[in-house]
């Protein structure tokens, strides 16, 4: 990325009529194609034998790791959350890690991509909450502990979406930018070190994005679960008293 360009949206690769293809869209497609290709190639020949192929081993480690993390955070069954949160993690991680390839610009260095991902989380949180506790049960959370908290709860919902988007964008964009600036003042060696550091920050940012998405979803679904457990305990106690 150029020193002066603040986002890969400004780099137009192909233009025809009213349609233009910028670097963000192109590299997003590349990452999507890579993810689909790799998972298709690996899952084509899955075996439950004692000896498994090394690619299957890698995939199993990744999926199992994500499952364990989700289970740790949410204290619930992972089946509903793994597709969404796992896809977020894999997409962001791959698009950040590929920045080691020369000529590649990470699509997450554009505010459009990160805003789209954050809006996905913004929509998914109420969706999971409503699936878990119903429409009334979910929206009741907004007026807890009192009705006066309603504007603050709504504000919190919006501002954390903004924070998710700007955090990822700022981190990845600063990585690309530092590379470009160092290339101008101290070429040959220092840009490589900063790029290697960028791999670490990229992976951590992908992890943090997925964990935060999971924390938000868990906070929307856990309240109803705790209420159900409390009711269950209450009922058990009453039965115990009745039975003597």
Partner 1 sequence: MDSISLIGMASVFTAGITIAIGSLGPALGEGRAVAQALGAIAQQPDETNNITRTLFVGLAMIESTAIYCFVVSMILLFANPFWDYVLSKAGG
Q: Which residues bind partner 1 (CB under 8 A)?
A: 4-6, 69, 72-73, 163, 166-167, 169-171, 173-174, 177, 204-205, 207-208, 211-212, 215
Nearer to partner 1, 163 or 196 (CB): 163
The CA-atom distances, in angstroms, between 110 and each of 96, 139, 171 are 12, 33, 11
Q: 105: which 2 tokens?
A: 């610009």
> Closest approach of Cβ 158 to partner 1, in Å?
15
16's enclosing H/E stretch is strand 12-16
> Closest approach of Cβ 235 to partner 1, in Å?
32
> Closest approach of Cβ 171 to partner 1, in Å?
6
> Closest approach of Cβ 157 to partner 1, in Å?
16
The burial of 70, by beta-carbon neighbours within 10 Å (0-12 exposed, 13-18 middle, 19 or more buried), is given as buried
> Closest approach of Cβ 164 to partner 1, in Å?
9
Nearer to partner 1, 193 or 204 (CB): 204
Nearer to partner 1, 133 or 217 (CB): 217
Nearer to partner 1, 160 or 195 (CB): 160
Q: 57: which 2 tokens?
A: 């081993």
Nearer to partner 1, 28 or 171 (CB): 171
Q: Report how far residue 150's alpha carbon sits from residue 143's, in angstroms, rounded to the nearest whole number.
A: 5
**3-state SS of 171-186?**
HHHHHHHHHHHHHHHC
Closest by CA to 79, choosing from 66, 89, 92, 60, is 66
């Amino acid at each position: 990325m150029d020193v002066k360009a603040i986002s890969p949206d400004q780099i137009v690769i192909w233009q025809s009529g009213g349609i233009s293809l910028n670097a963000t869209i192109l590299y997003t497609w590349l990452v999507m194609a890579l993810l689909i290709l790799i998972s298709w190639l690996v899952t084509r020949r899955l075996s439950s034998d004692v000896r498994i192929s090394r690619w299957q081993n890698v995939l199993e480690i990744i999926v199992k790791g994500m499952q364990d993390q989700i289970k740790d955070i949410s204290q619930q069954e992972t089946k509903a959350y793994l597709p969404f949160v796992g896809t977020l993690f894999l997409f962001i991680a791959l698009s950040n890690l590929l920045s080691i390839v020369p000529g590649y610009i990470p699509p997450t260095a554009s505010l459009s991509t990160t805003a789209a991902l954050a809006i996905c989380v913004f929509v998914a949180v109420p969706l999971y909450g409503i699936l878990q506790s119903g429409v009334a049960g979910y929206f009741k959370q907004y007026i807890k502990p009192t009705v006066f908290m309603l504007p603050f709860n709504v504000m919190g919902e919006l501002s954390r979406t903004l924070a998710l988007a700007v955090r990822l964008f700022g981190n990845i964009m600063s990585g690309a930018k530092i590379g470009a600036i160092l290339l101008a003042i101290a070429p040959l060696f220092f840009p490589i070190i900063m790029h290697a550091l960028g791999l670490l920050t990229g992976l951590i940012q992908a992890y943090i994005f997925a964990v935060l998405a999971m924390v938000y979803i868990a906070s929307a679904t856990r309240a109803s679960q705790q209420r159900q457990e409390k009711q269950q305990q209450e009922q058990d106690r009453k039965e115990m008293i009745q039975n003597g």
